[in-house]
Structure 1
């Protein structure tokens, strides 16, 4: 059976995260009956981001996103949140892989500072 576009999007973002910085750890958190697989959570010297799947989107939430520079304007959700920022990816959207990778690297640098 072919992967759902959301599963493929999570796989694509996961690959970008893992390629961005060696040593990233992935853990499934917040398992519940409606989401038995949990939420993929990525950390290196602190939380980097999570990837949540919804009916209409995949949400990549950066824990310290408000402190990251985003010159490419990739963040498009949770823009008013105090600490976090997110990227909502809808079916058919193209994620700027270079800008996304830059955000992952910047998040790790921030975790290490």
Structure 2
């Protein structure tokens, strides 16, 4: 597997662990529908939350939220619609982005963008 895939999977695990420590409940990881993949599906305060995780080694090329374009958003919404139907969910939902950043010293930091789009 390519290094960027390994970094992405590690970032997803780190983000999931970080969110669980904040009280989120992890329901699914890497849920696929067609060409779309939901990195994390979590529940928090009665909301079903679909989370796109982006890994960056620094911010020189921009922040995580800048790398979720309109095409990606449409794919995420399509996969979320299928997930909602499959699980028969009838309550509110939210789409979040979590940026996982590793600085020069290897320190991991997170930026959480709640209700990032829809």
Tell me the TM-score normalized by structure 1.
0.41
Which protein has the bigger strand share? Answer: 2
